[in-house]
Amino acid sequence: MPPPGPRDVFARPRDTLRTILRVLGCFRPHGWRLVLVALGLGLGTFSNVYGTYLLKPVFNDHILPLMGQPDPDMSGLVRILLVMGGVYLAGGAGLYAYRVLMIRVSTGILLQLRREMFARLQNLPIPFFDRRTHGQTMSRFTNDVDAMREMLGHGLPEFVHSTLRMLGVFAMMLVLSPVLTLLAVAMLGFMAWLVRFLARRSSFYFKGRQGALGALNGCIEEMVEGQKVVRVFNHQPIVRRRFEELNEEVRRNDAGAWTFGSILMPLMGNLSHVLFAVTAALGGILAVRSTLDLGTLAAFLQYTRNFSMPVTHLSQQFNSIMSALAGAERIFDLLDEPEEQDSGTITLVDVTRDGDGRLVESPVRTGLWAWRIPGDSPEGRPELRLLEGDVRFEEVSFSYDQRTPVLRGISLFARPGQKIALVGSTGAGKTTITNLLNRFYEIDQGEITYDGIPLARIRKSDLRRSLGMVLQDTHLFTGTVRENLRYGRLEATDEEVEQAACLANADGFIRHLPQGYETELSADGVNLSQGQRQLLAIARAAVADPPVLILDEATSSIDTRTEALIEKGMDRLMRGRTVFVIAHRLSTVRHSDAILVLEHGQILERGDHEALLALEGRYHKLYTGVFELE
């Protein structure tokens, strides 16, 4: 058996009792299987204990009396041996059923946990992801779930089985010989202490190994990602030397950890042999003095072997179970995270106009949307208010950490169909404005309205359905090009997908791909250029066909020639929509209806391109290159 891993050595839950109760609660839906598990486990434990006890009558009643007889009657011996065989076969069947059922139960629990974790992840607020790295979140689905798999499928069943077996064996040992039991308990207590001692000693090396391994993996990752830089500056010998140092550190700690871990099982095995020999010697003396019969000694010696093995297993499994409980606690922490709150009651619906020009709800997509406001009409019926795209910020202040202001009393408006450009240095608050419009975060002060409706009254899913976003960092999913474009609107037809691609001028390069629209993308579209990925993101927004569009550095990764090619398509995409554009390249915002210059969370200037140049203020300096956007 390999030595305990680093989790086994020092990972511990904060609240062990509460976590155990939560884990036990996971078994509740599998009640009938657990009844069968208990029966199988009880049968297996009983057969092991009782089968060993039968050695006493075998020797005392059927072997010793027949010794020296010229024609012994073996029928009684055969019968009791058949009984022993039946007992062990029944126990084996019980343990087999117990293990099979525990596998079914454990995999079912893990299935449900993964399902609940993923569902909870979809409903967590954006600040949850801001506070954690992607690796920390992913480790809940990998390391922690794997630790629970080991515990539920192996560690916990073995722990329960070993505990019951040890208690049963200990009870029978007391019945057979209290004197020999005292010797066995003393020896096994020393063995358990030795296991704990070796585990504590190896923890030092495992901790060092984890740190060194992390540094080694980081070195390899940096070297692979920065291979061009390494070669440009001819730093291969330096990189190799650094790698050798870290590799040696891993080897040294790994050797120490495995040294202590590897001697554990041989040491325990030899000590169990010593216990057996000492018990046999003392039992032999007692038998010679007629204070212990031979059958009792034979059964007791077998119990000694059966007792030492569970104790060793319990000592080894304790740390791994505690480590798995720590992983389970982190999983439950994720499941206990509060979901994103949404008190909005106003929804977005497809509408059409009847013969009198009034808005009526439509069960099919019409390209015309309205806000469905419950009970606001004089008759008490829901009011349908046409979605026009009028967005207003009134004295909005916001900070991500409740300490450092990001927006300070921002007031702005975007009338239906206007193109609003947001420019300013990094950290000025441009992206924050679009995040607040999506209600990824809640404002501290002020009010945001959408077609005259306070944003907080609109259901978040419907609000976001009315907004289309093209981000600077394009993310493509594993699947075909067509599937990635259809992600904007899953019910879009193939024809609508291709029309959207034409609108964004992405159709040309898509058709030159090996399988055209059916070309498989993987690893976030690594087989495409950054500009091509950006074109797909724009086409995906076109498929969604939203009434309000947000372009966050949408053309930052596209060269000037490509930008000119898609400009006409972008104009068609933006026509009739309220558009917010965030851009560092000021040439892309010259034709905006209004340009807002932000610095330090405040709006310094507002106007169109010519008006702002005439002011000769901040925008003029940015445009003429006196200042640069950072």
Q: pLDDT tens across 271-303, in order?
A: 777 888 888 888 888 888 877 888 888 888 888
Distance CA 298, CA 402 (A): 74
- Report residue 596's pLDDT band, with 50, 70 and 90 as the boundaries: very high
Structurally, the chain folds into a number of domains equal to: 4
Of these ranges, 10-14, 117-121, 153-157, 312-316, the one predicted with the greatest mean pLDDT is: 117-121
Whether 472 and 553 have beta carbons less than 8 Å apart is answered as yes
Looking at every residue in the chain, the average pLDDT score rounds to: 82
Identify which of 303, 290, 320, 291 has the alpha carbon closest to the alpha carbon of residue 150: 320
Q: Confirm whether 317 is domain-assigned.
A: no
Exposure string (b/e) for 26-53, b if CB count within 10 Å is 16 or more? bbeebeeeeebbeebbebbbbbbbbbbb
Q: Are residues 274 and 421 in the same domain?
A: no
> Does 563 have pLDDT greater than 70?
no
Q: Confirm whether 320 is domain-assigned.
A: no
CA distances from residue 417 to 388, 456, 550, 594, 606 in whole angstroms, order as listed: 8, 23, 13, 12, 17
Distance CA 465, CA 472 (A): 20
Q: What angle do CA 453, 454, 455 make, to 5 degrees?
A: 105
Distance CA 606, CA 414 (A): 12
Identify which of 304, 303, 284 has the alpha carbon closest to the alpha carbon of residue 294: 284
> Does 211 have pLDDT greater than 80?
no
pLDDT at 217: 74
Average pLDDT over residues 600-619: 88
Average pLDDT over residues 572-581: 80
Q: Are residues 412 and 524 in the same domain?
A: yes
pLDDT tens digits for 395-433?
999 998 888 889 999 999 999 988 899 988 888 888 899
pLDDT at 82: 92
Q: Confirm whether 319 is domain-assigned.
A: no
Q: Are residues 107 and 227 in the same domain?
A: no
pLDDT at 592: 86
Q: Are residues 452 and 580 in the same domain?
A: yes
Helix 156-176 to helix 75-122 angle (10° resolution) is 150
Q: Confirm whether 520 is domain-assigned.
A: yes
Q: Are residues 542 and 569 in the same domain?
A: yes
Q: Are residues 417 and 552 in the same domain?
A: yes
- Report residue 7's pLDDT band, with 50, 70 and 90 as the boundaries: very low
Q: What is the CATH classification number for the domain harbouring 454?
A: 3.40.50.300
Q: Give the percent of the chain with pLDDT over 70.
A: 87
Distance CA 296, CA 309 (A): 20
Identify which of 455, 452, 416 has the alpha carbon closest to the alpha carbon of residue 435: 455
Q: What is the CATH classification number for the domain harbouring 164?
A: 1.20.1560.10
pLDDT at 463: 92
Helix residue ranges, H only, 226-263:
227-232, 236-262
Other beta carbons within 10 angstroms of residue 459's beta carbon come to 17
Q: Confirm whether 143 is domain-assigned.
A: yes
Q: Are residues 485 and 534 in the same domain?
A: yes
> Does 325 have pLDDT greater than 70?
yes
Q: Confirm whether 1 is domain-assigned.
A: no
Q: Confirm whether 342 is domain-assigned.
A: no
pLDDT tens digits for 534-555?
888 888 888 888 888 888 876 6
pLDDT tens digits for 430-451?
889 989 999 999 999 999 999 9
Other beta carbons within 10 angstroms of residue 21's beta carbon come to 10
Distance CA 40, CA 168 (A): 16
Range of the domain at 494: 391-624
Between 307 and 56, the more confident residue is 56
Whether 423 and 609 have beta carbons less than 8 Å apart is answered as no
pLDDT tens digits for 153-188?
877 888 888 888 888 888 888 888 888 888 888 877
Of these ranges, 110-114, 239-243, 362-366, 532-536, the one predicted with the greatest mean pLDDT is: 110-114
> Does 562 have pLDDT greater than 70?
no
Q: Where are the extended beta strands (E) located within 259-404?
A: 347-353, 359-361, 369-373, 383-386, 391-399
> Does 1 have pLDDT greater than 70?
no
Q: Confirm whether 308 is domain-assigned.
A: no
Average pLDDT over residues 347-361: 88
Q: What angle do CA 146, 151, 154 make, to 5 degrees?
A: 110
Q: Are residues 611 and 531 in the same domain?
A: yes
pLDDT at 523: 67
pLDDT at 6: 39
> Does 457 have pLDDT greater than 90?
yes
Q: Are residues 205 and 233 in the same domain?
A: yes
pLDDT tens digits for 258-271?
777 667 667 777 77
Q: Are residues 481 and 525 in the same domain?
A: yes
Specify the pTM: 0.74
pLDDT at 482: 93
Q: Are residues 287 and 422 in the same domain?
A: no
Average pLDDT over residues 204-212: 68
84 is written with which tokens?
């022993």
Lowest mean pLDDT among 194-203, 342-351, 491-500, 544-553: 194-203
Q: Are residues 451 and 537 in the same domain?
A: yes
